[in-house]
Chains A and B, each alone.
Chain A
Amino acid sequence: MNTTTNTASASNGMLAVGGIGLIVSLGIVLMKLMSEGHSAFATTANIPWGLPISTYLFFVLASTGLTFVAALSMVFGIKGFYPIAKRSVWLAIITLIAGFAALGLEIGHPFRMIWTFPAGMQFRSPMFWMGVFYTADLVLLLFKFQKMNADDWDSGASRQLGVASFVAVVLAQGTLGSVFGMMAMRPFWYDGLVPVFFLVTAALSGAAFVVLFIQIAYRGNTDSMPLDVKALMTGAMPKVFAAVLGVYLVFTIARTATGLWSNLEGNEVFRVMYGSMLFHFEFWIGLVVPFFILINGNLRNQATMQILASALVILALFIGRYEFVIMGQMVPMFKGQWTPGLASYMPGLAEWMLVVLAVSITLFLYALGARMFDLSGKPKS
């Protein structure tokens, strides 16, 4: 009884914080856009993609990872993950909406996409495919959630929706990776393995998000969890989290080491990245510390440690996305003395408010979902 009350009050608090954040941040962004136009953003001809794009990347890859977590039971039949599947799908939907909101307010004419994408059918553009697959992903996830909410977990249609959403999201994150990885003129990004890197980083986001939100749902009290959720959160889930974090660390170290070693023109930004406090905070505090927490058999099963590890990883991933997007553009293209060094970028109020907006949307819709649906729903048998 007490737990139910506490959970409800937590949900109310999140709803209020998310709602207020949403109204305030959206108000500020719209006011800035109406008064200053898109020059409210601090992007330049040298750095056309700023914090809103990295925020988009952060949220849509989180959504991708959450779909992966849901797919463990829905697609791969690992039944132990069923108790968190519905929450994962809901989180995947809302983080995707949050990412789309950040992107929609950043680009110049978002509504033109409705007719120019189908009318253009630009098959050669990875961004075209990214748009197609993420839109398909959102629609499929909504249908899948509807099925789950109607307690239809195992019908043919429900299973097919689960598989289709998984396939769509794998293709979506792959094409999102290609948006960057195919840019031969930007060595910081140019790499055929970026879609694979995004696969790992998305999986890590998904694991971190689901761990954090489950702990929030049960107010960090493992004993208040249903037995199957408790078994998962003190068993397979933190181990999966640790494993994915380990793989991500290998990717990060390999990528950074290669970039630092290479003398290729354009890769000098790896040295800038390595020289920044932000990178070392991200790497040591945001990735290495959680990794040591998670590989320790005692620590990884403690709720507070799980909250700490997931929160640090989420923060590290947010920084990582920002570094990835901005540093890929820091080497100016043919600017000579006009931009003698590397291009710089410092996000302004409008950009930060878009971050607040995306976070607020996630919190608000999550709390709304927790009120309206039984997010801990699972198959009866």
Chain B
Amino acid sequence: MTKWGMVIDLEKCTGCQACTAACQMENTRMPGEVWQDVIFYTEGTYPSATLSWLPRPCMHCEEPSCMHVCPTKATYKTGDGLVLVDWNRCIGCKYCMIACPYGVRFYSGERAEIQPDVRTVYPGEGDKVWSPPFQMPADKQDRSRGVGVAPANVVTKCTFCSHRISKAPKDASDLSGDNPATRESTPACVLTCPPTARYFGNLDDPNSEVSRLIAQKKGSRLLDHLGNRPQVYYVTGEGGSVPNVGSSRKA
């Protein structure tokens, strides 16, 4: 059985945001609709200020609260562990956005954060929310899996590049750009990461690289106390970027 998961090594991550750019291009996301964000945190004041960062994709939780709250089962979990949105069923109630503790969901009808609004610059054909000149090939787009250009007024999120990993060789436990056999099926953010801080593979296989890293480097998950049990693990070492994620908020 395959359960896809990701390991992000914060000691190697430079915060360059190449993963963000790759994800945007691969998945034809709009500006501001950042499925794969790198979030920066500042703490302290000059000359003792520190800057840290946290790459944050969808966690594809084992117990996804977004899925449990969805009143129409538009959000669902696949047999290989992905949390996806069926855009044909999504009513746009945004309850999943409320229930996701990691803030990884976006509404395609949302007011544009960045002007000009690309939806007016590249108006959507049919019921598409926009139609940019370069977009994911039509044969890869799949609304039932939330892949490709979204229709208006639905919720979108990272799919772990479902359209890529679904082409993975059978029995492959590690998807990596280093291996020519799995290169084309590796998620875009993993493939593009310059310092190779990201690893992608089968969490159910104890011999996969992700499983070994989690064991050897004591992988941890974000907000584990909430019980969502993310399938994205973070590992680090001395000098790794480990932000105190609550510290920047002041009432």
Contacts and interface: CB of A to CB of B under 8 A. Distances in A.
A335 interface: yes
A39 B109 contact: yes
B56 A107 contact: no
Contacts of A122: 70-73
Contacts of A184: 65, 226-227
Interface in B30-73: 32, 37, 39-42, 53-54, 56, 65, 68-73
A36 to B, nearest CB: 8
B72 A39 contact: no
B153 A109 contact: yes
Contacts of A271: 251
Contacts of B65: 184-185
B243 interface: yes
A108 B104 CA distance: 19
B161 interface: no
Nearest to A332: B103
B113 A44 contact: yes
Given A107-B93, A183-B98, A44 B251 contact: no
Interface string A191-205: 000000000000000
A182 to B, nearest CB: 8
Interface stretch (A92-100, A230-238, A337-345): A337-345
A168 B56 CA distance: 42
Contacts of A298: none
B210 interface: no
Interface in A252-281: 265, 268-269, 271-272
A79 B59 CA distance: 57
B249 interface: yes
Given A183-B98, A183-B99, A335-B103, A128 B92 contact: no
Contacts of A109: 90-92, 153-154
Contacts of B41: 336-337
A87 interface: no
Contact of A38 (B37, B40, B56, B92): B92
Contacts of A301: none
A125 B40 contact: no
A107 B91 CA distance: 7
Size class of B's contact patch?
35 or more
Interface in A283-338: 329, 331-338
A41 interface: yes
A342 B250 CA distance: 7
Interface in A105-121: 107-110, 112-113, 116-117, 119-121
B154 A117 contact: no
B152 to A, nearest CB: 6
B251 A38 contact: no
B234 interface: no
Nearest to B32: A45
A127 B39 contact: no
Interface in A32-47: 37-39, 41-46
B183 interface: no
Listed residue (B37, B90, B111, B112) with the most chain A CB atoms within 10 angstroms of its CB: B111
A179 interface: yes
A86 interface: no
B84 interface: no
Interface in A1-46: 37-39, 41-46
A116 B98 contact: no
Contact of A269 (B94, B107, B251): B251
A310 B54 CA distance: 51
Listed residue (A37, A41, A110) with the most chain B CB atoms within 10 angstroms of its CB: A37
A42 B105 CA distance: 17
Contacts of B154: 108-109
B56 A334 contact: yes
A38 B98 contact: no
Contact of A108 (B40, B90, B248): B90
Contact of B92 (A108, A329, A340): A108
B121 interface: no
A338 B42 CA distance: 11
Contacts of A268: 249-251
A336 B245 contact: yes
Contacts of B249: 265, 268, 331-332, 340-342
Given A42-B111, A43-B110, A110-B91, A337 B71 contact: no
A337 B68 contact: no
Contacts of B110: 38-39, 43-45
Contacts of B89: 112, 116, 120
A147 B98 CA distance: 41
B81 interface: no
Listed residue (A272, A333, A335, A337) with the most chain B CB atoms within 10 angstroms of its CB: A333
Nearest to B243: A336
A124 B93 contact: no
11 contacts: A44-B111, A45-B103, A107-B94, A108-B90, A120-B70, A124-B69, A184-B226, A272-B251, A334-B103, A342-B249, A342-B251
Interface of A: 37-39, 41-46, 48-49, 107-110, 112-113, 116-117, 119-122, 124-128, 131, 179, 183-186, 265, 268-269, 271-272, 329, 331-338, 340-342
Given A112-B89, A128-B71, A336-B243, 20 more contacts: A37-B152, A38-B153, A39-B111, A43-B111, A49-B94, A109-B90, A110-B91, A116-B74, A117-B71, A122-B71, A125-B70, A184-B226, A184-B227, A185-B65, A268-B250, A333-B100, A334-B56, A336-B40, A338-B37, A338-B39
